[in-house]
Amino acid sequence: MKKLTLEQVINKVEDIPALPSVVSEIMALTEDPDSTPQDIEKVVLRDQSLTARVLRLANSAYYGFPRRISTISEATILLGFRAIRSITLSAAVSNVLVRELPGYKMAKGELWRHSQTCAITARHIARKFNIGNSEEIYVAGLLHDIGKVIMSHYIEDDYIEVVNKVISENITFLDAEEEILGFNHAQVGYRIAEKWNLPPDLVEAIAYHHSPEDATLDPHMTCITHIADVITMMMGIGLGVDGMAYSISDYAIDVLDIDTDIDSIIAEVSDIIADESSFSRDDLHF
Ligand SMILES: [Fe+2]
Ligand SMILES: [Fe+2]
């Protein structure tokens, strides 16, 4: 196969859809301190499945409100603007993330499970250690591997070569991607996130989830995304072909200054994802 440059790949990205206008509007509204829950409600109500999803999550055991929440404005007040934003983005990307990725040997739904688990783990770490904004970090966890959706097409033909390089040279899958193809899935993810006009700290977390020491805007968000990703792989969720080739960066542990009791984080996250309603697998349209 003729080798393409990163630029050519990004320009060919017709199958990464533009974010629906509802998503961009919600992103803008939730950034604006003058917005009201009624403004948010008006936009959310234009999308039936998003409306259902917000209400289902607001009433899930995860948030644990004692009474039934029946309107979007009420859910917005109780969950907060940022939670509404992460729910909206996650609904918008689920169709893209759910695809099969032959280049990574990931079955349909596997990247979605990996991304959801990473997002939930990242949010859990942020809350547990009281670092950063947990809803924003959730979105970073959800989108960190978005570049794989595109990379999968290009890596398929060179797959054996990439795997051999990982084994024979004992390098990471990411470095092997870069050496064989000229770019890696984190760089492609970075370009998709830019194309979607996501906030710069989020773009950075996607770009550097495998090299957290490169983050400058919000190192905490990137470091948590990195750790949550490795933990998700340690849990065996959405490993794909490259899953075993990564380890937790000591730098990330140092920056966050957290006690690295990974086993207890894994146990806590397992409890959270056991609650089906917070995992929202029922949103998948297979
Ligand atoms: Fe990755
Ligand atoms: Fe990942």
Q: Which residues surround ligand 1, an ion (CB under 5 A)?
A: 145
Separation of 228 CA from ligand 1 center, angstroms?
11
pLDDT tens by residue, 109-152 = 999 999 999 999 999 999 999 999 888 899 999 999 999 988 88
Report the alpha-carbon distance of residue 168 to residue 72 in Å, rounded.
Answer: 55
Tens-digit pLDDT profile for residues 25-76: 998 999 898 999 999 999 999 998 889 989 998 898 777 888 899 999 999 9
Q: Which residue has the higher pLDDT, 283 or 64?
A: 64
Distance between Cα 108 and ligand 1 center (Å): 17
Distance 75 CA to ligand 2 centre (A): 30
Is residue 1 in some structural domain?
A: no
Instruction: Find the 123 Cα to ligand 2 centroid distance in Å.
Output: 15
Give the integer Cα–Cα distance in Å for 115 and 139.
9
Residue 44: per-residue pLDDT: 94
Distance between Cα 229 and ligand 2 center (Å): 5
Longest dimension (CA), the chain: 59
Token pair 């770019």: residue:
183
Q: Are the beta carbons of 113 and 159 closer than 8 angstroms? A: no
Residues 6+ apart with CB under 8 A from 89: 19, 23, 27, 139, 142, 143
Radius of gyration over every alpha carbon of the chain, rounded to an integer in angstroms = 19
Q: 197: how many CB neighbours lie within 10 A of its CB?
A: 12
Which CATH number characterizes residue 27's domain? 1.10.3210.10
Sign of the four-CA dihedral 8, 28, 140, 275: negative
**192 C-alpha vs ligand 1 centroid, how far in Å?**
14
Q: How far is the C-alpha of 198 from the C-alpha of 205, rounded, in Å?
A: 11
**Residue 160, in any domain of the structure:** yes
**Which ligand has the nearest atom to the CA of 141?**
2
Domain carrying residue 24: 8-283
User: Nearest Cα to 222, choosing from 202, 195, 192, 246?
Assistant: 202
Ligand number nearest to the C-alpha of 97: 2
What percentage of the chain exceeds 90 in pLDDT? 41
First to last CA, the chain: 31
Whether 262 maps to a domain, the answer reads yes
CA of 47 to the centre of ligand 1 (A): 31
Inform me whether the pLDDT recorded for 6 exceeds 90.
Answer: no
Instruction: Evaluate whether residue 156 is within a structural domain.
Output: yes
Residue 2 lies in a domain: no
Residue 183 has pLDDT above 90, yes or no: no
The pTM of the full predicted model, rounded to 2 decimals, is 0.85
Question: In this predicted model, what pLDDT tens digit does every residue of 96-115 receive, in sequence order?
Answer: 898 898 888 889 999 999 99
